[in-house]
Structure 1
Amino acid sequence: MELFWLASASLLAGFVDAIVGGGGLVLVPALFAALPTTHPATLFGINKSASVWGTAIATLQYSRRVRIAWPVMLPAAFAGLVGAFAGAWAVTVVSPTFLRKLLPVVLVGVLAYTLAKKKLGHEHAPRLSGRRETLAAAAIGLLLGFYDGFFGPGTGSFLVFLFVRGLGYDFLHASASAKLVNTATNIAALALFAMKGHVWWHYALALAVANVTGSLVGTRLALRHGAGFVRGVFLLVVTALICKTSYDAFLR
């Protein structure tokens, strides 16, 4: 029964993650609720062991229907990988506690900006080209990769927002590109958790299958309904993240 509950949560997490990121909002609390005596690092390791497959499959599915700028996004993914390793190392020497109260404020700013700019992300009109676009994407990958390794909540949604706002992508192209970078950051985190023995592989397989199933459904919906649909889900996920992170920071 416990595994069924977690697999259901992983399926929903894969669905949400494939559209706009934020799957950890679903699966991580489910893991803490189902396995309350387990070390948090192990729970995060289980989460990554499932989500890495969902994001990888979503990247593949998007790439078949959406033009991903590979010369731009592959360096961004590598930068994300490096950043995630650096962030994971940093969390061993510096506590991320200060981010708990800052994160809801940042998310409120993201939500307010997106609501105010009603046409934001509806049209795919890249603002940069060539080396400038590659460097900007790599900077975003490095920054959010570090954040993912150091703290983590909302990484996929932040990637989508910065690709829309910073690079001029529409929400569909931004989500497709974010999946590639997020896959790299998940690989880095999973590698570190696995090396330290914080992955329960007997849970990982079942949750990965469920996560991939949800990812396939979410990707198909995003591709079918386009940038406007992804924007709507983005607003819902960011709102949910604000509620969750505010509770963790100020009420817990």
Structure 2
Amino acid sequence: MEIILASLAALLAGFVDSIVGGGGLVQVPALFVLFPHFSVSQVIGTNRFASFLGTSVAGYQYARKVDVPWKVVLLTALGTALMSYLGATVASHLKAEILKPIILVLMAAIAIYTYVNKRLGHEENPPVSLTRLLGYGLLIGMTAGFYNGFVGPGTGSLLVFGFVSIVGYQFLKASAIAKIINVVADVSSLIFFLWKGYVVFEIALPMMACNIVGSFLGSRMAILRGNTFIRAVFLVVVFGLILRFGYDVVKMFSN
């Protein structure tokens, strides 16, 4: 029964994550609840193994249907990888209490900004200069990478928001870029978890199959339904992040 429930969570996680990111908000808590005897490393490793192929399927779907700016993707991915390492290093020296309230305010601001600006992400207005475009991509990648290393959940959503609000891409193209970058990040980090033996394969394999199905359905629906649909899912995921960090902040100050 635990494996069935975990696989259903992976199906939903793959669907949501393939559209705007945030699948970890579904899959990671499900693993913690269903398998309380797992260590944190086992949960993260099993989650990463279960989702990396689904992420790849979504990335492939987007790459086939969306005009992906590969130079921007590569530079953004480089910035994400470098700053993710730095974020993890900083996280090992700072207490989460310092940044989580700031992240909560940031997520609330993102939700309000996206909700108020109804046309945000519906029209494409990227900067004319390729140099400026690459610079914005690097800045977004470094910011999202640091966040990924320090906190984790919602990195894909942060990438989507950056490319929509700063660069001026449509939600569909921003989601495509974010998903391809996530493939690189997931595969590189998965090597560590496999090497250390943190992946529980009897749980991860059925979850992977369901995550692939969810990712395929989600990416196909995003491509067919377009920017309005992606914007709605984005707001739902950001609201989920607000609830997550709001709970953490309340729990910190109540102890």
Is TM more than 0.5 here?
Answer: yes
Alpha-carbon shift at residue 184 of structure 1 (Å): 2.0
Compute the displacement of 1:203 (Å).
Answer: 2.3
Paired residue for 1:82? 82
Amino acid at match of 1:38: F
**Counterpart of 2:69 in structure 1: which amino acid?**
A
Distance in 2 (alpha carbons) for counterparts of 1:211 and 1:177:
20
**One-letter code of the match for 2:29?**
P
State the partner residue of 1:162. 162
Give the conservation status (yes or no) of the 8 Å contact 1:15–1:214.
yes
Equivalent residue number for residue 182 of structure 1: 182
Question: Counterparts of 1:13-24 in structure 2 under 5 Å?
Answer: 13-24=13-24
Gaps of 5+ in 2: none
- Give, in whole Å, the separation in 1 of the partners of 2:100 and 2:224: 36
Q: Trace 1:81-120 onto structure 2 (pairs within 5 A).
A: 81-120=81-120
Q: Provide Cα deviations, 1:201-251, integer angstroms capped at 9, x if missing partner.
A: 332222222111100000111011101110011111111221122112214
1:2 equivalent in structure 2? 2
Q: CA deviation at 1:127?
A: 2.2
Contact persistence 2:87–2:149 (CA under 8 A): yes
Aligned residues: 252
Distance 1:187 1:139 in 2: 22
Letter in 1 for 2:85: F
Q: How does 1:197-236 map to 2 (within 5 A)?
A: 197-236=197-236
Deviates more, 1:8-17 or 1:187-196: 187-196
Instruction: Provide TM-score, normalisation by structure 2.
Output: 0.92
Aligned equivalents of 1:109 and 1:235: distance in 2?
A: 12
One-letter amino acid matched to 1:249: V
- Indicate how the Cα distance of structure 1 residues 197 and 92 shifts in structure 2: closer, same or farther if over 3 A, else same: farther
* Contact kept in structure 1, 2:97 and 2:249, CA below 8 Å: no
1:146 aligned onto 2:141 = no
Hey, what does 1:136 align to over in structure 2? Answer: 136
Q: Deviations over 1:122-165 (max 9, x none)?
A: 11221243122112212211221222122112111111000001
**Aligned mates of 1:6, 1:191 — CA distance in 2:** 23
- Identity percentage of aligned residues: 42
CA distance, structure 2, for counterparts of residue 165 and residue 36 of structure 1: 39
In 2, Cα distance between equivalents of 1:89 and 1:198: 20
Residues 4-53 of structure 1: per-residue CA shift (max 9 Å, x gap):
11111011000000111111111111011011121112111111112222
Post-superposition offset of 1:101: 2.2
Q: Equivalents in 2 of 1:48, 1:150: separation in Å?
A: 17
Q: 2: CA distance between counterparts of 1:206 and 1:146?
A: 31
| Superposition deviation, residue 179 in structure 1 | 0.5
Return the offset for 1:195. 3.4
CA contact (8 A) 1:83 1:149 kept: yes
Contact 1:149 1:189 in 2 (8 A): no
> Secondary structure of 1:118's match?
coil
Q: Quick check: 99-108 or 116-125, which moved more?
A: 99-108
Moved more, 78-87 or 150-159: 78-87
Equivalent-residue separation in structure 2 for 1:89 and 1:189 (angstroms):
15
Indicate how the Cα distance of structure 1 residues 200 and 84 shifts in structure 2: closer, same or farther if over 3 A, else same: farther
SS in 2 for 1:50: helix
The aligned counterpart of 1:35 is 35
Query: Normalising by the residue count of structure 1, what TM-score does the alignment of the two structures yield?
Result: 0.93
Structure 1: which 5+ runs fail to align?
Answer: none
- Separation in 1, partners of 2:98, 2:128: 34
